[in-house]
Structure 1
Amino acid sequence: MARGSEHRRAGARPARARLQRIVGDEHSASKWLNSENRRINGRPVDLIRQTEGLVRVVHYLDASRGLV
């Protein structure tokens, strides 16, 4: 496995943990990750593959957590 892939996967873990805290369960988290999201301009599962997209998703989740 490429070193960059390992770093992105490790970076995605905090985003997934934040998401589970917000939505409450694995099924809801998976549904959200695979759904188109207009606010972040894409499907989170696709966005988190790139550093810029991962940052966008994490910022979105942090902002959402403030609203809960």
Structure 2
Amino acid sequence: MPINRKIKEASHFTPSEVRLLGRVFEQAKREGDSEANREALASRIIANYMAGITDEAELLALSRQPLGR
């Protein structure tokens, strides 16, 4: 699963953080997404979390949007 691979690459997260990130990924992914799209989604979820977004609903909403640059 892309989120698990990205979590391992990003840093060391606690088991509860991994569960949170996994739940957000499962809710945010879409049927028919390519592997590249799922990788990008996983990256956004982790980036938003590491930026301090820890509320699950807020993390889900923000992670569905492309990262601002």
Q: TM-score range by the shorter chain?
A: 0.3 to 0.5
TM-score by length of 1: 0.46
Larger radius of gyration: 1
TM-score by length of 2: 0.45
- Compare the two structures and name the one with the higher helix fraction: 1
